[in-house]
Structure 1
Amino acid sequence: MPPRTLEIARLAGGQDDVVSRKQLVQLGLPPGYLASQVRRGAWRAIHPGVAVVHSGPVPWRTRARAALLYCGEGAALSHSSAAYHWEVVRKPPRVIEVSLPWPRRAAPQRGLRIHVRRYMPDSYGVLRATHPPETVVDLWARTSDPDDAIALLCDAARARINLDHVARAAAGRLRLPGRALLDELLAEARSGIESPLERRYRRDVERAHALPGSALQVRDVVGGRWIRADVVYAGYGLRVELDGMLAHPGGRTARDTWRDNAVLIERGDRTLRYRWAHVVATPCRTAGQVAAALRLGGWRGNVRSCGGGCVA
């Protein structure tokens, strides 16, 4: 039986089945013990001096643990890896991202991206990761598209990350690309906007054409069941549902949705449904249809042209 088997099992059991050469030496094993286990196929090497104590599949969390052990003291999961750990994103990233406080260094490895940082964000946890609000700010710093940016903040809110804490984390950064946009989007996210499509609707359809202000994400009891509407125009008997999918299963098209909306208006059943094509590609036409439905509910206002070529 290999020496100190119980000690190795205890160590690996608390580290997602990962051990390092340094830890094994501290247990009294020879420096070459880890390499010998890898050579005979009992263990699987992940990074230099770091191995998983079996030869089977290696799940994401085990890879993340191996990255932290390899990078050493002060290392923390960050960016996309921390975002997955904190459930801001649902898909595990292929590359593990780790931050290290300057001036520490670690040699690059396949499947591992290392950020050496003069400002090292706070981190914590059994699987150490940057603090959730700091993680959101890290992702923000490399997000250039406004729709992706608002999606990030909405995902953070759904992961129960306090957006006021995100704002404070951002204020602590000396350099942050798009700081003004972040402040704007944080305000919009706090107002109830839960998706990039909702933001586009409020900005490009509603506000740009002087439509009445709506309430977002309204919960109500209908037929004895709780329902939630994306957009509600209180007092005008109108709800708007926004579908962020580019296409529905079964081949339903944007033209089909538009036709259905027209029928609903004519018959007085005023729940309108829009998709990306309506809000992003034809916001003026969409505003005109919303205005027509609002007038059925008693609105007496005028649609404002948003610029040359506006067809609202």
Structure 2
Amino acid sequence: MSTPPRGVKAARQRAVADPSRLDLIGIDTAGATTLDECQAAGLSARQVQWLVTSGRRQSPFPRTYVTFSGPIPPLTMMYAALAYAGRGAVLSHETAGWLDRFCKQGAPIHITVPFDRVVAGQPGVKIHRSRDLTAAHVHPARTPRRTRIERTVCDLLAGAQDAEQALSIVADAIRTRITTAAKLRAALLDTRSTKWRKVALDALPNIDGGAHSVLELLDVPINRRHGLPQPERQFKRLPDGTEYLDGYLKAWSVHYEFDGRLGHDKAREIWRDHRRDNRSTVNRQRVLRYGWADLIDRGCEVAAERAVVLAQQGWPGAFRRCPRCPPNP
């Protein structure tokens, strides 16, 4: 960074480099702007540089500026990264997923550009080049400019490390209610080669039926194999939407809970679970809780246990043994 000019030269630049001009430029982009936009507003490159070197403004990326000093919020950095990447650039992958509320916030900022463009990476920015990105893959109205949620899911699936992560991506996307199983299915079928595509396509019917986590997806075939009724998934018990039951069998007052989420052992979540279970007891409802080991390694035992509890609650059905059941489940 160059040394700020001093004396008469600095006074002349200050007289012309009115910071309020930059304030108006970045009003729709969370304070991010470009050198071209600054020059269009009447500021020279030297005047803009003076604003930066004097600490009044910031330049997170080449030819890209922020119209304020101090910490730069994530949204402003995203707009600045888009401005830096230029023509055809869109936010994608985890960044687009975070904006659409189904991915956790994190670095770096992911940007996809057309394959015919070569954009140098910058600290905190990951550039992807795509041969098949079209206008149809970009949301027409949401800002900052980003991929549609269906395209975002396909991009994320390509980087999933295992089936569990792939299924979590799909389930989390549908849980936002800004896409559907039908739209995701169409997007997956339209994609040339998406890793975990078959796994996702096979799981979509169950996710569409209400399974919102990988554990819930594992639970569906356990009930099916053993002739047990399928619970209503994500049942809203409290009218204000502050409490949901993972699986609820209203006719027999039984509900299932699945403990497999990251951070599920945080104190606040434990207390919330206690309140929910206590409320079930008050309402004379039976609660059965399961984790990863139960559904992956003990599926038949889980089913047999459920059959006993359901029978106690008046279920008229019968437990059906499957080929995987041990001699005495």
Match of 2:48 in 1: 34
Letter of the 1:36 counterpart: W
Residues in 2 aligned to 1:5 and 1:228: alpha-carbon distance in whole angstroms: 51
TM-score with structure 2 setting the length? 0.78
Distance 1:118 1:105, change over 3 A: same
Match of 1:25 in 2: 39
* Alignment partner of 2:74 out of 48, 60, 65: 60
Deviations 1:169-207 (A, max 9, x none): 22221111222212111111111111111112223x323
Identity rate, percent: 24
Residues in 2 aligned to 1:170 and 1:45: alpha-carbon distance in whole angstroms: 39
Match of 2:201 in 1: 183
Letter of the 2:165 counterpart: D
CA RMSD of aligned residues (A): 3.2
Q: Does 1:92 align with 2:92?
A: no
| Deviation for aligned residue 1:309 | 5.4
Residue pairs, 1:194-213, within 5 angstroms: 194-203=212-221, 205-208=222-225, 210-213=226-229
Higher alpha-carbon deviation: 26-35 or 94-103: 26-35
Residue pairs, 1:255-266, within 5 angstroms: none
Q: Please say if residues 171 and 207 of structure 2, whose CA atoms lie closer than 8 Å, have aligned partners that are also in contact.
A: yes
In structure 2, the residue corresponding to 1:98 is in which secondary structure?
strand
Match of 2:125 in 1: 112
Q: Does 1:128 align with 2:145?
A: yes
Distance 1:137 1:245, change over 3 A: closer
Q: Does 1:239 align with 2:258?
A: no
| Deviation for aligned residue 1:218 | 6.7
In structure 2, the residue corresponding to 1:241 is in which secondary structure?
strand
Match of 1:103 in 2: 116
Deviations 1:100-143 (A, max 9, x none): 11201211111000111111132433311111221122112222
Q: Please say if residues 18 and 66 of structure 1, whose CA atoms lie closer than 8 Å, have aligned partners that are also in contact.
A: yes
Match of 2:324 in 1: 307
Match of 2:211 in 1: 193
In structure 1, the residue corresponding to 2:143 is in which secondary structure?
coil
Match of 2:165 in 1: 148
Letter of the 1:37 counterpart: L
Aligned length: 297
Q: Please say if residues 166 and 196 of structure 2, whose CA atoms lie closer than 8 Å, have aligned partners that are also in contact.
A: no
Q: Please say if residues 17 and 48 of structure 2, whose CA atoms lie closer than 8 Å, have aligned partners that are also in contact.
A: no
Deviations 1:200-226 (A, max 9, x none): 2223x3234x1413132274879xx99
Q: Does 1:284 align with 2:297?
A: no
| Deviation for aligned residue 1:303 | 4.2
Comparing both structures, which one devotes a greater share of its residues to strand?
1
Letter of the 1:122 counterpart: V
Q: Please say if residues 91 and 112 of structure 2, whose CA atoms lie closer than 8 Å, have aligned partners that are also in contact.
A: yes
Q: Please say if residues 258 and 290 of structure 2, whose CA atoms lie closer than 8 Å, have aligned partners that are also in contact.
A: yes
Q: Please say if residues 288 and 311 of structure 1, whose CA atoms lie closer than 8 Å, have aligned partners that are also in contact.
A: no
Q: Please say if residues 236 and 298 of structure 1, whose CA atoms lie closer than 8 Å, have aligned partners that are also in contact.
A: yes
In structure 1, the residue corresponding to 2:45 is in which secondary structure?
coil
Match of 1:159 in 2: 176
Match of 2:62 in 1: 48
Letter of the 1:80 counterpart: E
5+ residue gaps, structure 2, are 1-14
Residues in 2 aligned to 1:241 and 1:75: alpha-carbon distance in whole angstroms: 42
User: Structure 1 residue runs of 4+, over 6 Å off?
Assistant: none
Q: Please say if residues 44 and 51 of structure 1, whose CA atoms lie closer than 8 Å, have aligned partners that are also in contact.
A: yes
Q: Does 1:8 align with 2:25?
A: no
